[in-house]
A and B are shown apart, each in its own frame.
Chain A
Amino acid sequence: MIEFLSALDQIMSVAHLAYLITGVLVGLVVGIIPGLGGIAGMSLLLPFLYGMEPSVGLGMLMGLVAVIPTGDTFTSVLMGIPGSSSSQATVMDGFPLAKKGQAARALSAAFLSSMIGGVVGAIVLSVFILVARPIVLAFSSAELFMLTLLGLSVVAALSGANVFKGLAACGFGLLIGAIGGAPATGEFRFTLGIDYLYDGVPLVVVGLGIFALPEIISLLVQNRAIASSPNKLGHGLKQGFKDVFANLPLVGKSSVFGSLIGAIPGLGGSVVDWMTYSFAINSSKDTSQFGKGEIRGVIAPESANNACASGSMIPTILFGVPGSGSAAVFLGGMLLLGIQPGVSMISTHLDLTYTIIWSLALANILGAMFCILFTRPISLLTYIKFSVLTPIILTLILFAAYQATRSLGDFLLLGVVAAIGVMMKGANWPRPAFLIGFVLSSGAENYFFQSIQFYGYSWFTRPGVIIIAALIIVGFVLPPILKKKKLKEKPEQLKDENEDTHVKTVSWADWAIIATLAISGTYALIDIWDSSTLTKAFPIIAIAIVLLSVIMVIRGYIKEPHKKIAASLTPNLVYILGFFVIAYCYYLFGFISTTFVFSLLFLRFIAAATYVKSTTIAVCLVIFLVTIGKVMNVDFPEGIFDPYLLGTINRFI
C-alpha cells in the first residue's frame, strides 16, 4: 500500500509528468503513422533514456507504449489503414462510419473507450500483478492451444451468411501463416525458393494488403471524398461519447477480457481486437449493421486493445517474457534502464512496478484527451476529394509495408495480397476470417505440437483445456439458439432481414477466388508431401480445411440456384497492376524522389489539382519523409536517385 501511494507521489512530480507527456506525444505520432511500431518510438526516446533515473525513464517509456493503440485509431478510421496490428478490427466499422460522414463520432467513441479500456487495464494490472504468477504459470501449452482455437472460433461470427466461405478463407490464412520454418523441425515449407518467404509472411503487409489497399482502390475508382455527408460532423463528437455511455457494459467486458488475454504470453494483441469484435456481434440484438458502420464494432476492439497493452505488462514484468510487440520494446527499455524484470519487481521493486501502473493509467487518460482535442480538425480530412489524398495514403502504405522487412518483397507481396483482397471484397468473402487464420496460424501449430510433446494425448483431460473447450462450444451453440428464440418472438422483423441477406449471387470473382484457393491448396499438398510428419501435419490440416470448404462452396452453387452477376472489378484490377509498376518505381528510383515525382504528376494530371497545390503537397510529403527518416532512424529504399537528392538536401540544412 505504501508503495502504491509513494509511486503516485513519484509520478506527480514535474519531471516525471514532463517525461511522461513526452512519451505520450511520441507514442501518438508513432501510432498515427502506420508501420511505425515501438522500434521507431524507442529510437526516438533512447537518447534521453540512457542513464536516466529509472522511475522517470519508465514513465516516459510507458507513456509511449500505452498510447500507440490510441493514436493508431486515426488512420484506421479516417483512411482504412490499420495504424498498427491491434487496430485492424477498428477498420471494419470505423472506416464505414467515416464514409458515412461520422468520422468524428467514431473517433470520439474510440478514444473514450480506449481511455476507459486503458484505465481498466491498469486497475486489473495493479490487483492482478500481486497474484498473477501462479495464474499465468497455469496456462501451459495445452491451454494456450485451446485459446488459439477460441480465437479461431470467432471466424464463425465474422463470416456472415456463408460459413464455408469463412472456413475456406480461414484455412487459407492458416496455410499462408505456415509459410517459412516449421516450428517443430525448422524445415522450410512453401518458400518457392524465394529468400523473402523463408521468414514467413509479415503481418503488417498482409493486413495492409487485405484491408487497406482494396478499400483505397475502390474509393479511387469512385473518386469522391471518403465521407459523403458532411452535415453529420456537427454533433459527431458528442454522439460518440453518448454511444460509449450507452454501451458501457460492452466497454467493461471488452476491457477486462482484453487485459486478461494480454496477460497471457504468446497470444498477442493482434487477435484480441477480433475476438472482442466478434463478441460485440454475438451480443448485439441487431447485427445487420456490422461491417457497414456499427459504432459497437468500434467501441469493443478499441476498449480491448488499450486494455491488452496493459495486460501484456504482466508477463513482461513478472517473467521477462514480453506479451506483445510493444511489450518487447518496453522490456528492452527496462533492461537499458538497468531494471531486471522478474519476481524481484514485486518483492524488492514494488514501487517501480506501481510507477509503471500509475504511468500507464495516466498516459491512457492524457493520450485520449490529446486525441479528442484534435478529433474534429483531423476528421475534416475525410471531406477532401479522394484522389487528392491518394498520393499521401499510398506513400503511407508503401512506407508502412517497407518497414516490415525492408526489401522489395514487401511491395510485391503487398500487391499480391491486395489482388486477393480486391477479389474477396468484390465477391463478399470474409476478409477478417482470412486474417484471423493467418494471425493464429503459427501459435496454433506451435502450441498443438508442444502440448502433445509435453503431455502426450492426455492433454485434453486437463481442467483448463476442458473449461476453454466448453467456452468455445457455448460460443458456437448459444447464438443460434438465442436467434431462434428471437425468431419465435418477433418473426416478421427478422425474416425481412434474412431475406435481405439471402439474395444469392455468384460472379467470376467468386470463381477466381475458388481457383486461387484450389490451386494453392493443391500446390501446397504436393510441395509438402515428402516432408517429415511433424513438418507437414499442420499444413495438411489447413489444406484439408481449404479444399473441403471450397468443395462445399461449389456444391452450394450447384445445389441452389445462384444469380450470375458480373463483378465490376476490372478497374480495380487495373489499379493493382498500376500499383505493381509504381511500387517497383519506388524501389528502383528511390522512395523519396519517386514520392515527389509521382505525387506531383498524380495530383496535377489525375486529381486535376493546381500546380501550386500539387507542388505543395509533394514538397510536404518529401519533408515528412526526410524528417521521419532522420529523426526516427527509419529506412527507405534508396534506389538510383535518392542518394543524390538526400545529399543535396543535406547541403542546404
Chain B
Amino acid sequence: MKKISKIIGASVLTFGCLMALPAKTLAAEVPSTINWTIPFGVGGGTDVWARFIAPNLTKNISGNPTVVIKNQPGGGSITGTNLFYKRAKGNGEDILGTSASTLFPFMLGDQRVRYNFDKWIPLMASPTGGVVYIQPEFGVSSADDIAKLDGVTLPFGSQSPTGLELPVFLAFEMLDLDIKPVFGMKSRGAGRLAFERGEAKIDFQTSSAYMNSVVDLVQNNKAVPLFSLGILNNEGNIVRDPAFPDLPTFEEVYAKKFGKAPSGMEYKAYRKFLAAGFAFQKVIFIPADTPSDIISEYQKGIQKMLKDPAFIKDSKVQIGPYQNVMGIDAAQYLNDAITVSPEMYSWISNWLKTKFDYNL
C-alpha cells in the first residue's frame, strides 16, 4: 500500500513537473541582460538619450533586466545599424536605438545602407522639435520682419546636405531665404559655435540644445528666434511646439509672408523628412521575430515607464516636453514617414544635385 502510494505520488510529482516545465518555458521572460545597440559614440545625443532611458527600462520592465548600452560608432550610425540588422537575435536580448541620421540615409537610398525596417518593430519613439534663429544685426525682431531678409546672404554652418538639416534647408528655400551653406561642421554644436563667433548668420538647433545653449544668447540679444519646426499632433497636423508656444511654426511664417499655405512637392518632401527626422528622432527597435509575449512584456514596461511621474519629470529636462509615441501608432506613422515615393525620390535627388551639387 505504502509502495503504491509512493509510486502514485512520484508519478503525480513527475507529471506535475512535466506539466509545469513547458508552462514555464511558454511564458517567455525578458532576458536578464538586454544589449542595447547605439550606433553612435559615447556622449552624443542618442547615447545620452539611451543612457537616460536605460535605467528607467530596468526599473519598469518585469524582472528588472540589466540594460547594457553597446556603442557602435561609424558611418553616421550606418555601420552599427547594419551590424544590428545582420546579427541581432530575436530572443529579446537585442534592441536598437536609432536617430534621424539612421532613417535619412535609408530614405535617400545611401549605398552603404544594408538594413531595412521590415525586420524590426518600433517599441517607442521620442520626438523632438527645433528652432531657427538669426543674428540680431539684420534688425529683425521676429518672424514678422522676415521680409527684411530678402536679398541678404546668410551663411549657415551645416553638417552635410543629407543630415538632420535637410528639412531645414527645404524650409529656408520655401521662405526664399538666400542661404549659403558651409558644410563640414562636426556637429550641430560646432555649427552653433560658428554662429556665436559671428561667422554663421543663421542657425538651427534641436529643442534641448536650443533650450540649453541658445536661450541665453537670445536673452543677451545675441540671437533672435525666427520660427520653430512645430510638432506633429495625433491627427498628423503640424502645430506649435509645446516647448516654444510663443514661436510661430514654419507654416505660419510661410502663410504670413506669401498669403497662402505651403504646398507642392517641396513641402511634401519637407513634411516627410520632418516626420522622419523629428517626430521619430529617436526610436527603440526590437527584431520582429522576437516572441510576441516578450514584445508585450517590453511594451508593458515602456507603458509603465511613460506613466512613471519620476520619468516624466526627468524626461522634460532630458528630452523636452514631448509625448513619446509607442506601440501600433509608432509602427504605422514610422512606416508612412520612411516610405519615399519614386516621384519624390527623383525630386529630392534632383534638388540635392542642383542645390548642393550632391549626387545621391
Contacts and interface: CB of A to CB of B under 8 A. Distances in A.
Interface stretch (A36-44, A239-247, A499-507): A36-44
Contact of B43 (A139, A332, A407, A445): A332
B182 A450 contact: yes
Nearest to A533: B357
Interface residues of B, number: 52
A566 B356 CA distance: 53
A647 interface: no
Interface string A367-406: 0000000000000000000000000000000000000011
**What DSSP secondary structure best describes chain B's contact surface?**
mixed
A330 B48 CA distance: 12
Nearest to A195: B112
B44 A336 contact: no
B359 interface: yes
Contacts of A328: 41-44
B198 to A, nearest CB: 8
A406 B157 CA distance: 31
A199 B196 CA distance: 29
B43 A331 contact: yes
A39 B190 CA distance: 22
Contacts of B42: 38-39, 42, 328-329, 332
B184 A446 contact: yes
A450 B189 contact: no
B47 interface: yes
Nearest to A405: B74
A249 interface: no
A330 B42 CA distance: 10
Contacts of B356: 185
B357 to A, nearest CB: 5
Nearest to A453: B182
B357 A141 contact: no
Given A331-B43, A332-B47, A344-B216, A186 B74 contact: no
Interface string A30-53: 000000001100110010001100
B197 A140 contact: yes
Max chain B C-beta neighbours (<10 A), residue from A333, A341, A454: A454
B31 to A, nearest CB: 14
Contact of A320 (B52, B213, B317): B213
Contacts of B193: 137, 265, 319, 321
A140 B196 CA distance: 10
Q: Which of A195, A265, A266 has the most CB of B within 10 A?
A: A195
Interface string A445-457: 1100110011100
A475 B69 CA distance: 47
B226 to A, nearest CB: 21
Given A265-B193, A340-B212, A454 B70 contact: no
A633 interface: yes
Contact of A187 (B198, B213, B358): B358
A9 interface: no
Output the residue of B184, B317, B356, B359 with the most chain A CB within 10 A.
Answer: B184
B52 A186 contact: no
Interface string B37-58: 0000111100110011001000
A321 B187 contact: yes
By size class, the interface of chain A is 35 or more
A185 B183 CA distance: 7
Given A39-B42, A322-B43, A332-B42, A185 B199 contact: no
A532 B69 CA distance: 40
B12 interface: no
Contacts of A497: none
A354 B187 CA distance: 27
Interface string B281-317: 0000000000000000000000000000000001001
Interface in A13-71: 38-39, 42-43, 46, 50-51
Nearest to B213: A342
Contacts of B357: 185, 532, 534
Interface in B126-178: 155, 157, 160-162
Contacts of B190: 265-266, 321
Contacts of B186: 266
Contact of B358 (A38, A186, A319, A336): A186
Given A50-B55, A186-B161, A532-B357, A140 B43 contact: no
A454 B199 contact: yes
Given A321-B193, A338-B317, A199 B75 contact: yes
A343 B180 CA distance: 28
B68 interface: yes
Interface string B54-81: 0100000000000011111111000100
Contacts of B41: 39, 328
Given A46-B51, A198-B75, A331-B43, A633 B70 contact: yes
B305 to A, nearest CB: 15
Interface in A434-481: 445-446, 449-450, 453-455
Contacts of B359: 187
Contact of A319 (B71, B74, B83, B196): B196
Nearest to B42: A39
Contacts of A286: none
11 contacts: A138-B197, A140-B194, A198-B112, A265-B190, A319-B189, A320-B189, A321-B193, A332-B42, A335-B43, A342-B212, A454-B155
Interface of A: 38-39, 42-43, 46, 50-51, 137-141, 181, 183-187, 195, 198-199, 265-266, 319-322, 328-333, 335-336, 338, 340-344, 405-407, 445-446, 449-450, 453-455, 532, 534, 633, 635
Given A187-B359, A322-B43, A330-B43, 13 more contacts: A51-B55, A137-B197, A184-B184, A266-B186, A328-B43, A328-B44, A329-B42, A338-B314, A340-B212, A343-B216, A405-B73, A406-B72, A449-B183
Closest 3 CB pairs between A and B? Answer: A332-B43, A183-B184, A186-B160
